[in-house]
Every structure is written in C-alpha cells, then in structure tokens.
C-alpha cells in the first residue's frame, strides 16, 4: 500500500537519508510535505525532485527565496513554526517522519498525533521533554510511534512476537563516541572540531555533540522508558565501540536477543517506514570476519556526567527531563560557538536542574513555560562562566 509521508527536517541527516529510502521505493511512498529549518537551497531542490503538496521553511526570512525558487511549480509554500505544526494535519498524510532536531519537534508531533497520524520518530527530544503527555495522546488517538533511532529500532525488532511481561531488561548500546576512555583532564581541552569526529556514525552537529558527551544515550534511555513502558531501573547502557550490536533485550528466562547490522541509519529508517513489512534493500551486509572482536564495557559516568544527569531527570520525572533538555540545548549551542568548554556543559545542565522550578504533573503549557524559563536560567549561568 502506498504511504503518503510528511518529512519534518528533510534537509538534515535523517531527513536526507529518509528521502534516499523513499527514492529507492517509489512504489511504496509519496512525499506530501517537506520542511526544513533554514537550508532553503536544499529544500527547494528536494521539492523539485519529489514534488510534494506543501513545503515549509521554519526561518521566515528565507520564505521569499523559497517562494521564488518554486514559483513555477504547483507546490504550496509556507514559513514559520506554526505552519510546520499545521501541515502535519493534512488529510493526505499517512505517516509523519519527525526528523527535526531538539524541542522544536514537540508541537508538530503532538498535532500529528491528535490528527490521527502515525509517527516515525527520530526526534528523541519529543519523548524526553513530554513522554507522559505523548504516551497518553498516542493511546487516546490510537496511533503508532515507530522508532527510527537505531537503538530503539533494535529493541522494537527484538520485541517482535514477544510478550512484554517477559521482558526483564533493555540494554542500549553506545559507541562511546570520539572520547571513549579519555579522562576529564583531556576533555577540558577538546574543541568542537574534535567532538564532531564520530568514529562510526554520520549525524548532524547537535546529535554528534550529544553523542560525544553521552547525553544522547541519556536521552535514549528516557525515550526507551516511554516507547516500551519499562521502568528506569530495568534499562541499562553498555559501551560497544564497534556499533554492530545496536541494542538488546533480556528476557525473564535469561535469554538475550540482539539486533545486529552495519552502522547505516537507512536500515532503521526503512524498517520504520515499511513496518510491518520488511523490504529488500541494497544496504551493506555485515561480514562477521571483519569484526572478530565485539567488545562491551561499562560507561564511565564519573567522567561523562551527562548520562547520570539524564538518569536523575528520568527518576525525578515531571518536568525535570524538559529542564534537562532545555539546558542541554543551550549548552551544546554554546560549546559549538566557543562560549563554553566541553566539561562545563554538565555543570551548566546540573545547575539549571537545581534552580528551575519542578512540576510533578505538567501539562503542555507547563512544558512550554519550563522550556522557556530553563533556557533563561541556563543562559544566565553561561554568562557567569566568562569563557
């Protein structure tokens, strides 16, 4: 059956790879909506190639350029965050691929769920910020969330055909990023260029920095809690430098199922788009002879404190993960722009978590205010660093 897609964040790493999957299976997918933050040239190029019903550029200053580029085409052109939040509700959209980065993906995802759309979720911050609200809306509107992250896709595949009551533990794997094995003294002097050199995966800048700091894995633990209904004490992280085992599930009889494959994001993207089918692809195949040693080790939470902060936020619940995310977005942006050291990022996040107002049972308005106020607290802390 043909699926009509809305791809949010189509010019980013996940978005462009999603369109590669779509292009490989024209008999299965049609692109109805494309959105981007500010890469207007690539968005226009994608629009001319896939000819969607609508395109949206979040940066409203880029609207005239996009409008002019598509003036001769029968394609609706919009701009702004509100437009992105609205196009996901179009009647001709079946599946919304949320590949936007950060908090910006929350409201469009909520609107899509309320409109009865299934979600292929690559924007982990949506469940980090408001997992309880999203889970309630998913159940209320009877839609599916299909994980795109390689780790959650692995768990999703391992759980196929299994009874959830027999799950003893989820085991998320982490590559360790470019600084695995390094101490805090080394980390104090790393640059953004150093942190952006991921050993295995090609990702956007923000996600790559999160991977280097282990915050990305902390976010994935929180996301796993909501995706699979597992309590935090039953979600473990192990460092697996080869990135071949994408994650595992341990069952009540002691059996462990793992999903393995080459580190290629098109694999979990295609599985989410084609589910419940498994479709042929010409992606690379895993040759075990090239990986004679698959190793696993405990994460160093003393050095990479962000992982511990994420567990703390998850255990406290309420709006604390939202505070964590807001502070982290400020910290990563500051680090990328030379306003904060790598080792100061967890200091900034921890200080924001300590100072921001805790709300045990937040609603959407609470989340929005928490995000705003937490960013302000984080920016004030940033000023005090005099970096």
Q: What is the pLDDT of residue 205?
A: 86
* Percent of the chain residues topping a pLDDT of 90: 93
Q: What is the pLDDT of residue 5?
A: 98
Q: CA-to-CA distance for 317 and 299, rounded, in angstroms?
A: 23
Question: Which are the contacts of 63, defined by CB distance < 8 A and separation ≥ 6?
Answer: 57, 77, 78, 79
Annotated domain spans of the chain: 3-147, 166-258+300-385
Kindly report the CATH number that applies to the domain delimited by 3-147: 3.40.50.720
Question: Which are the contacts of 368, defined by CB distance < 8 A and separation ≥ 6?
Answer: none
Q: What is the pLDDT of residue 18?
A: 98
- Got the DSSP string for 189-215? T--HHHHT--SS----HHHHHHHHHTH
Q: What is the pLDDT of residue 385?
A: 85
Q: What is the pLDDT of residue 387?
A: 66
Question: Which are the contacts of 255, defined by CB distance < 8 A and separation ≥ 6?
Answer: none
- Got the DSSP string for 263-325? S-THHHHHHHHHTT------PPPP-GGG------B---TTTSHHHHHHHHHHHH-TTHHHHHH
Q: What is the pLDDT of residue 286?
A: 95
Helix then strand count (H, E) for the chain reads 16, 11
pTM equals 0.92
Q: CA-to-CA distance for 244 and 200, rounded, in angstroms?
A: 10
CATH topology of domain 166-258+300-385: Rna Polymerase Sigma Factor; Chain: A (1.10.1740)
Pick the closest to residue 240 from 305, 191, 172, 341 (CA basis). Answer: 172
Pick the closest to residue 109 from 131, 80, 88 (CA basis). Answer: 88
Question: Which are the contacts of 199, defined by CB distance < 8 A and separation ≥ 6?
Answer: 175, 177, 178, 241
User: Taking the mean position of all CA atoms in its chain, how far away is CA 6?
Assistant: 17
Assigned token pair, 156: 């999703």
By residue count, the chain amounts to 387
Residues of the chain under the 70 pLDDT cut: 201-202, 387
């Amino acid at each position: 059956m043909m699926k009509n897609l809305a791809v949010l964040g189509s010019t980013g790493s996940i978005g462009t790879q999603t369109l590669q999957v779509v292009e490989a299976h024209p008999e299965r997918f049609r692109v109805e909506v494309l959105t981007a933050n500010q890469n207007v040239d690539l968005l226009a190029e994608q629009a001319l190639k896939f000819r969607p019903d609508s395109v949206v550029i979040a940066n409203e200053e880029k609207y005239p350029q996009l409008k002019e580029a598509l003036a001769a085409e029968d394609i609706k052109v919009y701009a702004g965050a509100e437009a992105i939040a609205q196009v996901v509700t179009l009647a001709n959209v079946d599946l919304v691929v949320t590949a936007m980065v950060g908090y910006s993906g929350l409201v469009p995802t909520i609107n899509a769920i309320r409109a009865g759309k299934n979600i292929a979720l690559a924007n982990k911050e949506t469940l980090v910020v408001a997992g309880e609200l999203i889970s309630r809306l998913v159940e209320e509107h009877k839609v599916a969330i299909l994980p795109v992250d390689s780790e959650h896709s692995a768990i999703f595949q391992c759980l196929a055909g299994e009874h959830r009551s027999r799950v003893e533990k989820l085991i998320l794997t982490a590559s360790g990023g470019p600084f695995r094995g390094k101490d805090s003294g080394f980390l104090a002097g790393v640059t953004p260029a150093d942190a952006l050199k991921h050993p295995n995966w090609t990702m956007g800048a923000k996600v790559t920095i999160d991977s280097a700091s282990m915050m990305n894995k902390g976010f994935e633990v929180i996301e796993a809690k909501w995706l699979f209904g597992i309590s935090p004490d039953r979600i473990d992280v192990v460092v697996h430098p080869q990135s071949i085992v994408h994650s595992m599930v341990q069952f009540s009889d002691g059996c462990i199922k793992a999903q393995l494959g080459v580190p290629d994001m098109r694999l979990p993207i295609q599985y989410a788009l084609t589910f419940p089918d498994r479709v042929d692809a010409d992606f690379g195949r895993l040759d075990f002879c090239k990986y004679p040693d698959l190793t696993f080790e405990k994460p160093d939470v003393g050095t990479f404190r962000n992982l511990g902060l994420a567990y703390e936020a998850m255990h406290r619940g309420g709006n604390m993960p939202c505070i964590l995310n807001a502070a982290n977005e400020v910290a990563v942006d500051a680090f990328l722009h030379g306003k904060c050291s790598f080792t100061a990022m967890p200091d900034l996040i921890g200080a924001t978590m300590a100072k921001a107002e805790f709300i045990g049972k937040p609603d959407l308005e609470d989340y929005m205010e928490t995000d705003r106020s937490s960013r302000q607290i984080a920016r004030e802390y940033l000023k005090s660093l005099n970096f």
